[in-house]
Amino acid sequence: MRMAIRRFTRLTNAFSKKIENHAHSVAIHFMHYNFVRIHQSLRVTPAMVAGMTDTLWSLTDMVRVIEDWETARSVEDQRQNDGRLTLPADHPHLYGDVMRNALAILILAFSMSIGANRLCAETINIVALGDSNTFGTGQGNTPGGVPVAEAYPAKLERALRARGWDVSVSNQGAAGQTARDAVYSLDRRIPAGTKLTIIELGLNDRNFLGASPSDIASSLAEIIRRVRAEGSVIILVRMWWQRDDAAFAAVQQSTDAVVNWWSSDLWPGGLVRPEYDSGDHSHLNAAGTDVIVSRALPDMERVLTQIGFRPNRGSRVLLQSN
C-alpha cells in the first residue's frame, strides 16, 4: 500500500493535509486494488476470486457507487428534514461519511473472504498414492497401460488447472504396489505441505498376497493415520468388493471422501472393456484414463471446496485490507 499511495511517502509534498483526504485516498486505493486492477497472477481481480463480484469493475463503476450512495443519502436527509434542507452533492460531511463507510465495509468483507476462502499465494499440492492404476503401466504378465505423462494424475492436474484450480498433482504410484508395503515408504512419498492425498491401494494385496479384507483394511488404516498426521486431507478410492463393506467401515469413516472411480463397469467379467483395454486386459488405455478423470473431477472440486479452496485463473493472492 505504501508503495502505491504517494500520500504515504515520507518527505514529500504529496502527503495529506487533512485526515479526511487521507482516508478518502486509502479508500479509493483499496477499491481500485481489489475491484478494478487485474492482477498478473490471477488474470482477474481479487474481488472476482473472492466471489464478491463476477465482473471486472472500471473507474466509472467506482464513481457510480459513490454517486448512488450520495443520492440515497441525500434523499434520506431530505426526508428527515421534512424537505426543508437539501444537501449539495459535494457536501464534505456527506462525502466523508460515504468514503469512511465504504472503507469499513470493504475491509470487513475482505477479511471475511480471506478467512472463508483461504485466499493466499499458494499452489495446492496433491499426491496420488497407488499401484499401477495410478502409475500408468503394469509389470510382468500385465505390462500394458499408458505413460506417466498420460496417467490419471497428470491428466487430472491438467483438467483441474483448465477449470481454474492452481494445483500440482504428484504421481506416487508404483506397479505392483500393495497397501502393506506402502506403509513403509510414506515418509518419502508424502512431502510436507501436501494438502490432499488420493489413496488407491489394496487390489494387489488381495490378488498377489491373498490378504483378507480385514488385513487390507488394517494397512489402509495405518496409511490414513500417517497421512492425516502430516495434515493432509484424504480421498480413498474404493478397491474392494461390496460384500466386504463391513471390514472397511471404520476405514471409510476415517477419510474425507470415499470414491468409486474404478467401478466394475470398466472391468465386466474381470477384464477391461475392449474400448478401454491397453492390450493386457488389465490396464486402461488413454480413453480409459479419460473416464477416470471425468469421474474424479466432481469429487476433487467438492473436496477442495470443502477444505476452503476456490478456483481461479491463476495462483491465489492475499486481498489487501490494511
Mean per-residue pLDDT over the chain, rounded:
83
Here the cell at position 60 is: 466509472
Beta pairing, strands 167-173 & 124-130: parallel
pLDDT in tens, 103-147: 555 555 554 454 444 444 479 999 999 999 999 999 988 999 999
Q: What tens digit of pLDDT does each residue of 240-267 get?
A: 999 999 999 999 999 999 999 998 889 8
- Residue with cell string 505423462: 149
- For the chain, how many helices (H) and strands (E)? 12, 7
Of the candidates 285, 119, 125, which has an alpha carbon nearest to the alpha carbon of residue 198?
125
Residues 191, 125: contact at Cβ < 8 Å?
A: yes
CA dihedral 278, 283, 289, 294 (to 10 degrees): 130
Helix axes 92-117, 59-80, angle to 10 degrees: 120
The predicted structure's pLDDT at residue 109:
52
Go through the chain and tell me how many residues it has. Answer: 322
The stretches of the chain forming alpha helices (DSSP H) are 19-31, 46-49, 59-80, 92-117, 132-135, 152-162, 179-182, 186-189, 203-208, 213-229, 249-253, 286-306
Q: What is the DSSP string of 278-320?
A: -SSSSSB-HHHHHHHHHHHHHHHHHHHHHTT----SS---PPP
Predicted confidence band of residue 322 (pLDDT cuts 50, 70, 90): very low
Reported pTM: 0.63
Residue 259 phi/psi, 5° resolution? -125, 160
Contacts of 305 (CB under 8 A, 6+ apart): none
Q: How far apart (Å, rounded) are the C-alpha atoms in residues 173 and 148? A: 9
Nearest-angstrom CA–CA distance, 256 and 273: 30
Q: Which region among 120-129, 190-199, 281-290, 297-306 has the lowest average model confidence (pLDDT)? A: 120-129
pLDDT: is 74 or 252 the higher one?
252
Q: Distance from CA of residue 291 to its chain's centroid? A: 22
Domains plus CATH for the chain? 6-117 (no CATH), 124-306 (3.40.50.1110)
Q: What angle do CA 32, 1, 317 make, to 5 degrees?
A: 70
Q: Mean pLDDT, to the nearest integer, of 12-19?
A: 73
Q: How far apart are CA 221 and CA 227, in angstroms?
A: 10
Rounded distance, CA 271 to CA 70, Å?
71
